[in-house]
Amino acid sequence: MKVLSASSKFLPFIFRTLFFIVLSTGLAFGQSGGEGNMVTIGVILILGVLVLGAVAVVGNSMVQVLSVKTGVDIGSTSDEEGTGANIHVLKKGTDIKLKGESHQEIEDVFTSRYAVQPFNFNNIAPIPKLVVEEGDEVLAGQALFFDKKHPDVFFVSPVSGEVVEINRGLKRAIDQVVILADKEISYKDLNSPDVETADREEIRTFLKENGGWPLFMQRPYNILPDNDEEPRDIFISGFDTSPLAGDSSVAIDGRFDAIQKGIQVLNKLTDGSVFMSLDGRKESSFPVELEELSGVEKHYFDGPHPAGNVGVQIHHIKPIKQGDIVWTIGLQELITLGNMFLKNQYDATRIINVCGPSAQRPRYIRTFLGADLSELVKQELEDEKIRVISGNVLCGDKKEGNAFLDFYSTQVTCISEGNDYEMFGWLIPQSFRPTVSPTFPNFALKEMAYDVDTNTHGEKRAFVVSGQYEELLPVDTFPQHLFKAIITRDIDRMEGLGIYELVEEDVALCEFACTSKQPLQKLLREGLDFMLVEA
């Protein structure tokens, strides 16, 4: 709310200044006139108004700077703790609307194979230690392997069945542990401790042993939480603004009791607060049950993508300072966590949004973690003209061949490959594509849904254009300077410009829009990996 008043104060200021300049120019010319050059004066005035008008229109972006700045202030100086309504209005960013949105109903698809893929987890050793062999029978929730860096953290099977394949990649790194699922899933009885009475160490040990640990991500770096670190706070994003993300209420699918239980667990794990951000955009609705959750501080975010990214939300709620460690957890992971205590079993049910302009049947699917994509999107995966992405088009992973759903992704997007030449494609494009540049006429059509392909639409160049990333990243930093600091491995600058606050998904929109086609997500990960080792 404070943000709104700040920006509304600022706009009239611009217009008053402009009016003053126009008026004074007019007066000045009026005084000097008398030689019959009123025409000239008229022309100058009109042109002046035109230029200044254009300046004023573009000047709106200045308001964005202000609002974001004020947004930070609201977060850090908020006195409405607990159940109070905290509203953050973000102006920066843009929504990318694509064709192929999913329908609301959910279809049950039980694929025969599921996989856990070690490369889904950042900062674990490439060759984890297996505790099962090919041919072993496992229960859902039974340990498959552990990471040599975190020997007490186990990764567990999402379903019950037989371990049929252990696929190895380069240098014998384990890519996939594949399980052929039973018709009827049988769950390992977890013997979960009572959340009310158990102490923190007991719960942490339980989570590490039973596959609950990898459900969390630790920031900075977006890695598996450290063995012995405790999070300052835990953040949950209650909605997703990324392209074709769909409706979070479908993903929750009425499993509110598990969410509530999960939040109870989260509160046991941190001395700080548990924050949940909810969709504050006018046109959207979210299930009222989320508002009624207890034990969580709710924040409302209004704005275009990336307002739904938990990293951006953390920046506006309670920024990560140097030395801080926070955890994040997704909604569906939170449900799994809650069910570990509520139902005493590792329930890896996931609602997957299969979508995209090239998806045969865009729909929601109820399946399990790590489902076999060659069954979920068989035709699309076999078609060479189509790219199947586990995740969204901005930060998902391309999947080919023997492909399974990634651990943290709840979305499968299918778009067409763009490996064609296009005559004068850069000058006179033959199809509309989503864009943030007003040089394209479709820039004005904000509601248009687009077909897209994977063409880069240009070649990689050095950084030339400035101010572009700032418009798309609602975080108070200078992204281009941060990326240059990463390239030059300047530790002080990287820290100073807040590399700890960002992960790949936050800069994905900047990468999408980048005129110089720079690989920003890759750069940021290089920087984060460098900092992880050096700092």
Partner 1 sequence: MKKLLNFIKSKEPKKGTLGHTLYDGFFTFLYAPNEVTGSKGVHIRDRMDLKRTMVTVVLALQFCYLLGTYNIGHQHFVALGMYESFFEGFHLKIAFGLTKILPLFIWTHVVGLGIEFYFAWKKGHAIEEGFLVSGALIPLIMPPDLPIWILCLAVGFAVFLGKEAFGGTGMNIWNVALLARAFVFFAYPTTISGDQVWIAGFDQILPGAATDYGWWQTSFFNTIFGWFDWAQFDSTAVIVDGFTGATPLSLAYEGGWSAVTDVYSSSQMLWGALPGSVGETSKPLIILGAIILLASKIGSWRIMFSGLVGAVVMSLVFNAWGATPFMEVPWYNQFLMGSFWFAIVFMATDPVTATATNYGKFIYGFLIGMIGMIIRIINPAYPEGWMLAILLLNTFAPLIDHYVVLGNIKKRLKRA
* Residue 328 beta carbon to partner 1: minimum distance, rounded to whole angstroms: 20
Element (H, E) at 390: strand 386-390
Residue 295 interacts with partner 1 (CB under 8 A): yes or no: no
Choosing from 229, 379, 515, 535, the residue that interacts with partner 1 (CB under 8 A) is 515
Q: Whose Cβ is closer to partner 1: residue 30's or residue 151's?
A: 30
Which region among 44-52, 165-173, 186-194, 343-351 touches partner 1 (by CB under 8 A)? 44-52
Length in residues, the chain:
535
User: Site map for partner 1, 242-261, x if CB under 8 A?
Assistant: --------------------
Q: Does 58 bind partner 1 (CB under 8 A)?
A: yes
Cβ contacts of 233 within 8 Å, gap of 6 or more: 270, 272, 273, 274, 275, 318, 326, 327
**Contact set for partner 1, span 60-79 (CB under 8 A):** 62, 65, 76
Among 289, 449, 457, 529, which residue sits at the site for partner 1 (rule: CB under 8 A)? 457
Judged by CB under 8 A, the number of residues near partner 1 is 95
Residue 112 CB burial class (10 angstroms; 0-12, 13-18, ≥19): middle
User: Least distance in Å: CB of 516 to partner 1?
Assistant: 6
Q: What is the CA radius of gyration of the chain?
A: 26
Does 429 contact partner 1 by CB under 8 A? yes
Check if the beta carbon of residue 142 is closer than 8 Å to that of residue 151: no
Instruction: Give the nearest distance from C-beta 120 to partner 1 in angstroms.
Output: 12
Q: What are phi and psi of 425, to 5 degrees?
A: -60, -30
Contacting partner 1 (CB under 8 A), which of 322, 378, 382, 535? 322
* 453 near partner 1, judged by CB under 8 A: yes
Select from 182, 302, 383, 397 the one that contacts partner 1 (CB under 8 A). 397
By CB under 8 A, residue 452 contacts partner 1: yes
CB nearer partner 1, residue 336 or residue 353: 353
**Out of 50, 445, 487, 532, which residue is the one contacting partner 1 (CB under 8 A)?**
50
Interface residue with partner 1, options 126, 193, 272, 418 (CB under 8 A): 418
d(CA 490, CA 494): 6
Name which of 41 and 180 has its Cβ closer to partner 1.
41
387 binds partner 1 (CB under 8 A): yes
* Token pair 């390992």 in the structure block, residue: 188
Nearer to partner 1, 206 or 404 (CB): 404
Q: Smaller CB distance to partner 1: residue 191 or 439?
A: 439
Q: Name the pairing type of β-strands 137-138 and 161-168.
A: antiparallel
Structure tokens at 296: 């969580």
- Buried b / exposed e over 74-104, threshold 16 CB at 10 Å, is bbeebeeeeeeebbbbbbbbbbbebbbbbee
DSSP symbols for 218-271: EETTTBPPPTT---S-EEEE----STT---HHHHHTT-HHHHHHHHHHHHHH-S
Distances (CA, A) of 163 to 297, 348, 402, 467: 42, 17, 16, 51
55 part of the interface to partner 1, by CB under 8 A = yes
CB nearer to partner 1: give 278 or 395. Answer: 395
| Selected range binding partner 1 among 20-28, 199-207, 233-241, 342-350, rule: CB under 8 A | 20-28
Residue 178 C-beta: closest distance to partner 1, Å:
20
CB of 417 to partner 1, least distance (A): 6
Interatomic CA distance for residues 158 and 141, integer angstroms: 6
The least CB distance from residue 268 to partner 1, in Å, is 27
300 counts as binding partner 1 under rule CB under 8 A: no
- Does residue 398 touch partner 1 according to CB under 8 A? yes
Which are the contacts of 302, defined by CB distance < 8 A and separation ≥ 6?
A: 87, 88, 89, 90, 280, 281, 282
The burial of 233, by beta-carbon neighbours within 10 Å (0-12 exposed, 13-18 middle, 19 or more buried), is given as buried
CB of 510 to partner 1, least distance (A): 9
The span of 130-138, 191-199, 246-254, 459-467 binding partner 1 (CB under 8 A) equals 459-467
The yes or no reply on residue 44 touching partner 1 (CB under 8 A) is: yes
Task: Check binding of 466 to partner 1 (CB under 8 A).
Answer: yes
Footprint (CB under 8 A) of partner 1, residues 200-239: none
- Among residues 156, 501, 195, 198, the alpha carbon closest in space to that of 328 is found at 501
Which 8-state DSSP code applies to residue 371? B
Q: Are 197 and 191 in contact (CB under 8 A)?
A: no
Beta pairing, strands 349-355 & 411-416: parallel
Cβ-based nearer residue to partner 1, 39 or 533: 39
Q: How far apart are CA 346 and CA 369, in angstroms?
A: 11
Choose between 167 and 477: whose C-beta lies nearer to partner 1. 477
Query: Which 472-511 positions form the footprint of partner 1 (CB under 8 A)?
Result: 476-478, 480-481, 493, 496-498, 504, 508, 511
First to last CA, the chain: 38
Query: With b meaning 16 or more CB within 10 Å and e meaning fewer, what string describes 170-191?
Result: eeeebbbbbbebbeebebbebe
